[in-house]
Amino acid sequence: MSNYYASLPTKRMAACALVRDEQGRILIVKPTYRPDWLLPGGTIEADESPRHACSRELYEEVGVRIPVGRLLCVDYTSVDGEKTESLQFIFDGGVFSEQQIAQLKLPADELSECRFVDLAEAQALVHPKISRRLPHALAALSNHSGLYLEDGALSEAFDPDQA
């Protein structure tokens, strides 16, 4: 039986947090290793839950330990060049107080800066895939819902005849 499980396909997975400040602006971080900005988060390790990964990555990237809130959306991303398909989870990272913001500590080898920006600026700075997810994550936050996306688009119905 173990050979069966070893033969099953695997997907890359990542989890990030939608963190806001008291004015409702979104926290984005600038990696040192790529040109675009990201939401704080990262790869889900083997045998790690998405929520735990989000909490761990948030602490590693900005130095703040907070309880990660509910899942806002999960986005299935299809194969893109050399990148395999993946599942991207966005959790509610809550609202950071001015005191928490003053205590943010970035790992210099991984992140060069962070900013709180409005949705339009975030969408202009982050990777296009994240840009497509952001309005859906904010809608899920305000509607107290959770959403399933495919390549950043809302996916409400599945027609097996179209697959």
Structural contact between residues 116 and 26, judged by C-beta atoms closer than 8 angstroms: yes
Q: What is the DSSP letter of 40?
A: S
The domains found in the chain, sorted by start residue, are 10-155 (3.90.79.10)
pTM of the model: 0.91
> What is the DSSP secondary-structure string of 75-139?
EEE--BTTBPPEEEEEEEEEE--HHHHHT----TTTEEEEEEE-HHHHHHHB-HHHHHHHHHHHH
Q: CA–CA separation, 109 vs 160, rounded Å?
A: 46
The string of pLDDT tens digits covering residues 69-104 is 999 999 999 988 888 899 999 999 999 999 999 999
43 — phi, psi (to 5°)? -65, 140
The string of pLDDT tens digits covering residues 117-155 is 999 999 999 999 999 999 999 999 999 999 999 999 997
Cα dist. 51→41, 55, 81, 135 in Å?
10, 6, 28, 21
Q: CA–CA separation, 76 vs 158, rounded Å?
A: 14
What amino acid is encoded at 28 in this protein? Answer: I
**65: number of Cβ within 10 Å:** 10
Angle CA(126)–CA(153)–CA(10) in degrees, nearest 5? 85
